[in-house]
Amino acid sequence: MKTGLALMIILLTMNVNAQKMNKKIEDKSRNKTLLINKCSREGLVSFPEFKESFDAEYPIYKADSVTLDSIKPLLRDIKITVVLGTWCGDSKLLVPHFFKVIDGLGIKENEITIIAVDGSKKAEGGILDGLKIEFVPTIILYEKEKELGRITENPLETLEKDIFHILAKK
């Protein structure tokens, strides 16, 4: 009986946690529905306000294949966190380009954490604690939980070149 109860509690906990993914809220300051907290790629790219820019921007971004080839050997133990606003013009431009780059690198979705913020650049439950997010989008690269570097709002050169420079320093 205890085993059955424990299993039920685990399943309920998993269900509650799953419900938090791709959470939508009404942001009264922007008079818009936004995504908040952790998101899946599918949830993000199918969110109506984000989908339009994703569908336009993803296919037109041409990542530099030579730079991508230079990055691939540097990807061992790398995790990435992307903090964005579904309301943010820079996020709507840069994040589709980011997905084009990571697709070219073969990075799997489980190596990326996507966090959507409200108009005040906040999320719920402390998931941004310690990240020092001032502007979105912010792309943070980690190796074994140590921050290697970040791209904030816009790359200095291109996404792939900035990623290469961050990883080449490690």
C-beta of residue 75 within 8 angstroms of C-beta of residue 169: no
In a domain, 89, yes or no: yes
Query: Hey, which residues does 34 pair with through a beta bridge?
Result: 25
Above 90 in pLDDT, residue 18? no
Tally the domains of the chain.
1
Q: Virtual CA dihedral for 82, 85, 91, 96, nearest 10 degrees?
A: 60
pLDDT in tens, 57-109: 999 999 999 999 999 999 999 999 999 999 999 999 999 999 999 999 999 99
How far is residue 97's CA from residue 159's CA, in Å, rounded to a whole number?
8
The pLDDT, as a whole number, for residue 6 is: 44
In a domain, 11, yes or no: no
Q: What are phi and psi of 24, to 5 degrees?
A: -105, 140
Counting Cα atoms < 13 Å in the Cβ hemisphere of 169 gives 11
In a domain, 157, yes or no: yes
Q: Any idea what the CATH number is for the domain that residue 162 is in?
A: 3.40.30.10
Domain, as residue range, for 129 = 23-168
Across residues 30-40, what is the average pLDDT? Answer: 94
How far the first Cα of the chain sits from its last, in Å, is 52
Please name the amino acid found at residue 32.
K
pLDDT in tens, 116-156: 999 899 999 999 999 999 999 999 999 999 999 999 999 99
* Length of the chain counted residue by residue: 170
In a domain, 12, yes or no: no
In a domain, 16, yes or no: no
How far is residue 161's CA from residue 25's CA, in Å, rounded to a whole number?
35
Say which residue the tokens 């431009």 belong to.
93
In a domain, 155, yes or no: yes
C-beta of residue 43 within 8 angstroms of C-beta of residue 22: yes
Q: Residue 33, Cβ neighbours under 10 Å: how many?
A: 15
In a domain, 17, yes or no: no
> What does each C-alpha distance from 48 to 44, 51, 126 come to in angstroms?
9, 5, 26
In a domain, 67, yes or no: yes
